[in-house]
A and B are shown apart, each in its own frame.
Chain A
Amino acid sequence: MANWVPLWLHRLGSPPVFYRFAGAVRPWALGLALVLGAVALYAGLFVAPADYQQGDAYRIIFIHVPSAWMSLFIYGAMAVAAFVGLVWRIKIAEVVAMESAPVGAAFTLITLVTGSLWGKPMWGTWWTWDARLTSELVLLFIYLGIVGLYHSFEDRRQGARAACFLVLVGAVNVPIVHFSVNWWNTLHQGSTVRLVGPSHIEASMLWPLLTMMVATKLYYIASLFARVRADLIASEGGKAWVRDLLVREGGAA
């Protein structure tokens, strides 16, 4: 049995180890995200052919769809971390859940605004109370509620527990967002890229989309790790390892 995996995960549960691990991984994740994101944007905006119906307006897909995927993916990751944090009382899992929420909110905001910018020329309206759009807006409010609840407690740990619980309750919205285009007759189109079955998209348009998907995933890791590091300095401020860090980082702050 490969028991080094659980061993490694166990060690990563220790805040000082996670802090160092996050600090080492973050620049690589961010750098790779920037390179892949630049390639995907260039290919999506200039290399991929125009759509036969939507012309060049469809190019918003290369931002809108990866951001929308991230808005749901981050919620999933956050819900798993919140569950682990609540059940096994692992502090780092609570921090990962709490610090995922602002990144998820950022991608949800991008999804809503770029969707609006796409809707105006194609549907003739900036906004409509369609099932997909409304459930995505609710997702943004849930993210903001989680961030707000976390920061409204004097005791950070208590705030994290309450907000982790809200994460699990709010998870009911995730399948609603995903399946809204199938369950209701919406103005929003159905899925273009599918895990099961053939995608309704040409290869020259698909690869920039998938490249951007990878870039946004890496970006999430980089942003999350920067946030966890900032959070740990405040929440572990009384611990010896943070004191040591202060001495070592000298005048850097």
Chain B
Amino acid sequence: MVTDHADDNELLRLAGARKSFRLPESGTVTPLDGVNLSIKKNEFLTLLGPSGCGKTTLLRTIAGFEDLDEGEVYLEGRAMSTVPAHRRPFNTVFQNYALFPHMTVAGNIRYGLEISRVSKMERAERVSDAIRLVSLDGLERRKPSQLSGGQQQRVALARALVNRPRVLLLDEPLSALDRKLRQSTQLELKNLQHTVGITFLFVTHDQEEALTMSDRIAVMDRGRILQLGTPVEIYDRPASRFVADFIGTSNILTGRLAKGRHGSVVQIDGGPEIHIRGQRHANGSIVDVVLRPEHLNLEKIEQDISGHLDATLENIVFVGSDMHLHARLKNGTPIIALHRHSRGAVGIGLAPGQTIKLYYEASAPHLMESDGS
């Protein structure tokens, strides 16, 4: 394990982080099972995964609230595990905001500066800057109980950012907000990160949120990072079935790859042949084919290599901007296709029970090595 940071752009690194503990009734739990992660300066990195995957434990390990059994956290090359939480240059925005109820908004924001004994003048200036940054002007004297959920969240943000941490840790801070507020806050947070220029480490189980806000996403499951990449990379080229399933909707078909001179074909068990462009996987290997619903069209595409799937339509679900077509292949595998809505279901002249052809471009299917599920 190399302990020096690999490049100047790296800010934080986790090396071989491992943590497990024994619960009286559930046996051994391993929230971190060998995690290696390199976090850059001035980036918005999201830890994404289902509950129990270890993302919150990872965040808390960095913050200093959890011990590691093995491995280390490095800040610009300096090991952090001997440094207690209150001395680490990170700040956290907690899921329930954790605003001090017996202090005002200004008191809450001031707290960190008082602890580090910043001078009174500088304190006042930084506090008012922070309040302006999150648009809380006029609410300085209020107590947390007198604020709305959105306002409380902004106080939590200001309270953390006013200390100019090296990394801002955010533990599912938007989960308590209603949908519309969530979406507007997501954009605000992204812009805030650009403005402030600090690395944001964000934890969420909402993949849409992760795709919207992040520069990079680390998808986690059962204590391991399954894939690290930009939102586009994760979406277009998932590395495993889990990632493909977790991000967006996927149709995953398993079959054997047969490479040919003009293109390759994956033979799905008891099902159709999928035509694809050149792939690096070995001839004859078992692969998982990922076809996103938006890749499947009702109209034929005029490309040199393309293919289609024969399926029986079972359900049409109207969701406003799109229609989800739930169908089934001849071998019984369910398929979901997306159709841009211009007219109602009557407009496309389809009804459940009909057989349809779903067309796709040869570049659309994404191949992954099958993990046997």
Q: Do A and B bind each other?
A: no
Listed in ascending order, the chain A residues whose CB lies under 8 Å from chain B are none
Residues of B within 8 A of A (CB): none
